[in-house]
Structure 1
Amino acid sequence: MAKLFQAPKAIPSLDVLLNDLKVGTIVRTPGDFNAFSFDDAYRATGGFPVLSLSFRAAPGGLRKDPKPVAAALPAFFANLLPEDKLREAMEKHHAGHVRPGNDFDLLAALGADLPGAVRVLPSDGTTAVVEDASKDKPKARFSLAGVQMKLSVMKNTGKGGGLTLPMGDEQGPYIAKFPSTAFPGVSENEFANLALAAAIGMDVPERELVEKSDFERIPAEFDTLSDGKVLLVKRFDRAGGERIHIEDFAQVFGVYPSRKYEGAAYHDIASALSVAVAPMAALEFVRRLALTVITGNGDMHLKNWSVIYRGDGGKPELAPIYDVLSTVPYLPADAMALPLGGERSFKALAAPRWKAFANRAKLPEPAVLKAVVGVVERVNEHWWDLPERAVIPEKVLERIDEHVRVMTPILGTCGE
């Protein structure tokens, strides 16, 4: 039986699924309001597998359905969509079927391949058409959150290999992050910083550097027109063709993407991890924070920390670390994306700030300080001889090294 198609902008309601389990429905109401409600059968389970910690009630079970939102989606769903230039590129890619700035339209177009295990499909069983159905060239239908120009891609297994976009119902098991004209060597920068995180014992996805010439069928809307390597990262929310559910901390806290730099502080993330996962997860978060400070990464906002739901999807874990790079080579006056112990300036983050952070996160102060010192020691042990340093452009590496030399003694005060 042939599929029935309708344009995303004409779809009135969307079913929300976790893999194949229906959890609720998003309805577009008159006046451009979007209302999400949980399915009765899902509500009867108490909310398992978990869609989002933001929907969990303190005594257990699910909160009441969120209020309809004017001209926007509820925060959890808004955070599934691309932002800024990446969103503009995707809207241009689907021009004629998706109205610029319309969250519902874009979610309808991309809902078959979202971050994690969430799928959002037309309630009437039709398929959101994203190009003239008579053409044998379906549009890309994946969504990746964030602003950097990046694509969900798959490796060709046939003769010649290469990389290509997933089309139709295909899934891309890799994220390709393209070079930037504004930030030279950004792919190499992140590649080396991920290697450092792995070297000091952190959970890091597989990664490699590839050439732009390795890609096929990349639409012009997504081409950054910048020379340089492309960073290819294995998706940890995909495994063997299966979707694994994840949510970032903007979703956990019910914060819209526009407030990812101000919706919470680092101690809020640590506290949430301690309660929802385990105190040891919060201390691993502390280790990652210390690495962020030492390497000068000023972009670890709420969307760059996530939890992952493996197995039956009922219990979150701290997800692998991602979006790890040094921003100070490009923004010398950069600071932390969120407050740490009441401060954002890197150089202000000596022992007193970490003690304040520990108290606000309700974590044992000695354990926090020990975790910070441990990272300082391991970075000094591995960074200076790390083979992946060789791929970073010289001027970028010089600025990273300068920041590391300044920050290690400041964080080293945690051991005094």
Structure 2
Amino acid sequence: MNTSFRAIQSLDVLLDKRKIGTIVRSPVYAFSFTQDYRADGGSPILSLSFLSASGELGRDPKPLAGILPAFFANLLPEGKLREVMEKYHKGNVRRRNDFDLLAALGADMSGAVQVLPSDGPVMNEMPATRFSIAGMQMKLSVARQRGEGGFTLPMDGEPGNYIAKFPPEAFPGVSENEFANLALAAAIGMDVPDRELVERSDLKNIPDEFNTHSGGPLLLVRRFDRGVGGQRIHIEDFAQVFGVQPSRKYDGAAFHQIAATLNEAVSPHAALEFVRRLALAALTGNGDMHLKNWSLIYPGDGHRPALAPIYDVLSTIPYIPTDAMALSLGRERAFKGLTASRWKAFANRARLSESAVLKAVVETVERVNQRWWHLPERDIVPAMILKRIDEQVKVMTPILGTCAR
């Protein structure tokens, strides 16, 4: 049975192509799990936010008027990309209507989730791009063209396996900045997705709505939630883990809560890897590692989470000199305030070993200073941006070095 977007009243939620629940539009946005998914104990896992403290599937989330449950709201784009998607799907998506947007974009979302009209495909629709990537920055889910070279937008739910990130007009050199920071993370042993810088001309057949006027190269990042042959690998960000709306990504939790969750749900090793990534953010001046820039990934059968590869890594200090950590660390956000006492407070709140946390910070500082100053990717970063990153590393090295005393 075909239907029109305006007539859609319910959406089927699929996890790895299996229906596990339904979202109903009227009179409130109500989400409920299917009985057979409940009978299976909520496995594979959709989100830790739906599980009780004992690990059992809890009650369906409380319906709210005009507000999607946090897990689904966090799948939708924000800012410029949302505006573009609403314009591209005009006639089907009303402005600021999350249900409409979810119905239009649900065929290709982050992780292994799809959200599709319960009554079947939309009637008389021309092929369209229907991906959804969360975040404020303008970015596209793209696929490599076979035989022709370059990249193009996948159509009607076909999975893209790369993310092409456009540099914001107000922040020159962002692509080069992030490319170099990702290279640094890889150089010091962190799990980093494949990436490259490409020219805008490498993107083919892009609709006018998706073109921007910003200059410079685009950063192309291999999607770690897509496997060989387009296999969907489930992920969730920590706004979804904690069940908070996207608007609260900067204040919905503190860093010690992420660490504690990793320690309990994944492993102590994952929690300490998170500490290393925090130390890298402080050292390089990355003030944008909010709840949506940390994720869990569910490899294999999806029954157990792991810490996802690091992503959205760049130095924000060159653009915002007064920037600070995105979330509180030991009740401190200012980079220069992150002395050993704050890391100890963080460790205690996260129920991690103080000595292990301090050691992870010190080791990260040492590794960065061993690699950053000779990193080949430094050469592509605009001189003024690089100068400010270098200054941040020099200032923060002795501050974080207090963890060695």
User: Which residue in 2 is equivalent to 1:168?
Assistant: 156
Counterpart CA distance in 2 for 1:59 and 1:153 is: 39
Counterpart CA distance in 2 for 1:218 and 1:268 is: 41
Checking the alignment, whether the CA contact within 8 Å between 1:108 and 1:128 is kept in structure 2 is no
Alignment of 1:12-51 (within 5 A): 12-30=9-27, 33-51=28-46
What is the DSSP-based 3-state SS (H/G/I as helix, E as strand, rest coil) of the residue aligned with 1:300?
coil
User: Which residue in 1 is equivalent to 2:121?
Assistant: 127
What is the deviation of 1:219? 2.0
What is the DSSP-based 3-state SS (H/G/I as helix, E as strand, rest coil) of the residue aligned with 2:25?
strand
The yes-or-no answer on 1:100 pairing with 2:95 is yes
The yes-or-no answer on 1:245 pairing with 2:239 is no
User: Which residue in 2 is equivalent to 1:287?
Assistant: 276
User: Which residue in 2 is equivalent to 1:86?
Assistant: 81
What is the deviation of 1:6? 3.0
User: Which residue in 1 is equivalent to 2:197?
Assistant: 209
What is the DSSP-based 3-state SS (H/G/I as helix, E as strand, rest coil) of the residue aligned with 1:70?
coil
Checking the alignment, whether the CA contact within 8 Å between 2:108 and 2:114 is kept in structure 1 is yes
Counterpart CA distance in 1 for 2:241 and 2:76 is: 16
Alignment of 1:187-206 (within 5 A): 187-206=175-194
Counterpart CA distance in 1 for 2:205 and 2:90 is: 18
Alignment of 1:13-412 (within 5 A): 13-30=10-27, 33-124=28-119, 126-128=120-122, 133=125, 135=126, 138-159=127-148, 161-240=149-228, 241-412=230-401
Pair 1:211–1:5, CA change in 2 (3 A): farther
RMSD: 1.0
Counterpart CA distance in 2 for 1:60 and 1:325 is: 35
TM-score (norm 2): 0.98
Checking the alignment, whether the CA contact within 8 Å between 2:131 and 2:157 is kept in structure 1 is no
Checking the alignment, whether the CA contact within 8 Å between 1:304 and 1:323 is kept in structure 2 is yes
Counterpart CA distance in 2 for 1:303 and 1:378 is: 26
What is the DSSP-based 3-state SS (H/G/I as helix, E as strand, rest coil) of the residue aligned with 1:284?
helix
Pair 1:5–1:182, CA change in 2 (3 A): farther
What is the deviation of 1:72? 1.4
What is the deviation of 1:140? 1.1
Counterpart CA distance in 2 for 1:349 and 1:7 is: 54
Counterpart CA distance in 2 for 1:147 and 1:272 is: 26
Give unmatched runs, 5+ long, in structure 2: none
Checking the alignment, whether the CA contact within 8 Å between 1:93 and 1:139 is kept in structure 2 is no
- Which letter maps to 2:17? D
Checking the alignment, whether the CA contact within 8 Å between 1:373 and 1:412 is kept in structure 2 is yes
Q: Which range moves more in the overlay, 33-42 or 168-177? A: 168-177
TM-score (norm 1): 0.96
- Which letter maps to 2:100? D
Checking the alignment, whether the CA contact within 8 Å between 1:173 and 1:234 is kept in structure 2 is yes
What is the deviation of 1:5? 4.1
What is the deviation of 1:242? 0.2
Q: Map Cα deviations across residues 45-68 of structure 1 (whole Å, 9 max, x no partner).
A: 111000000000122321111111
Counterpart CA distance in 1 for 2:370 and 2:46 is: 40
